[in-house]
Amino acid sequence: MTRRCPDCHAVNRIPASRLAEPGRCGRCKATLPIETAPIEITDVAMFDAIVRDAPFPVLVDFWAEWCGPCRMVAPEVAAVAKAVTGRAIVLKVNTESVPQLAQRYRVQGIPNFAVFDGGKLVRQRAGAMRSAELLQFLDPARAA
């Protein structure tokens, strides 16, 4: 994972275990803010590292560009990512770009949401959800 410095624009590597924390730029030492948007997954290794090493629950949105409901829930997913900054991580997996993950988790309908905690899949559900439903799906105990 990388994060660009807002001051000097240097690209900084961020370990998956530190994604939900502010960092420090290796070049200018400025604070690197926590990412508040969903993280786009580009390959299986990136996904595996984040899910395995994340110190918080991980909400995954399996989607595709051609999917109308997926496009409709994208702002809801972005709102959840912003709301859980520092307490959870939100990932977006394009099933067309990374089909191996869709196959691994038997994604047959999209949008499909999954929650991982401690590196393990704890719940999964297909179908569009609003941000309040996604928050409850991510952490039923906290949302109750």
Q: Residues 5, 25, 28, 67: which is the catalytic one?
A: 67
For residue 88, what pLDDT is reported? 93
- Does residue 8 have an active-site annotation? no
pLDDT value of position 144 = 37
Number of domains in the chain: 2
Task: Indicate if 67 belongs to the active site.
Answer: yes
Q: Name, in order, each residue with C-beta under 8 angstroms of 23's C-beta and a sequence gap of 6 or more.
A: 3, 12, 14, 31, 32
pLDDT (0 to 100) of residue 17: 85
Is the domain of 72 the same as that of 107? yes
Is the same domain home to 42 and 64?
yes
User: 74 with 99, same domain?
Assistant: yes
Claim to verify: residue 42 and residue 15 sit in the same structural domain: no
Low-confidence stretches of the chain (pLDDT beneath 50): 143-144
**H helix runs in the chain, sequence order:** 44-53, 68-83, 99-104, 131-138, 140-143
User: What CATH number does the domain containing 97 carry?
Assistant: 3.40.30.10
Task: Check residue 21 and give its pLDDT.
Answer: 86
- For 51, the domain range is 36-143
Contact of 93 with 122, CB cutoff 8 Å: no
For residues 97 and 139, membership in a common domain is answered with yes
Cα R_g (the chain), whole angstroms: 15
- Answer yes or no: pTM beyond 0.85: yes
At residue 61, the pLDDT reads 98
Is residue 1 domain-shared with residue 13, that is, in the same domain? Answer: yes
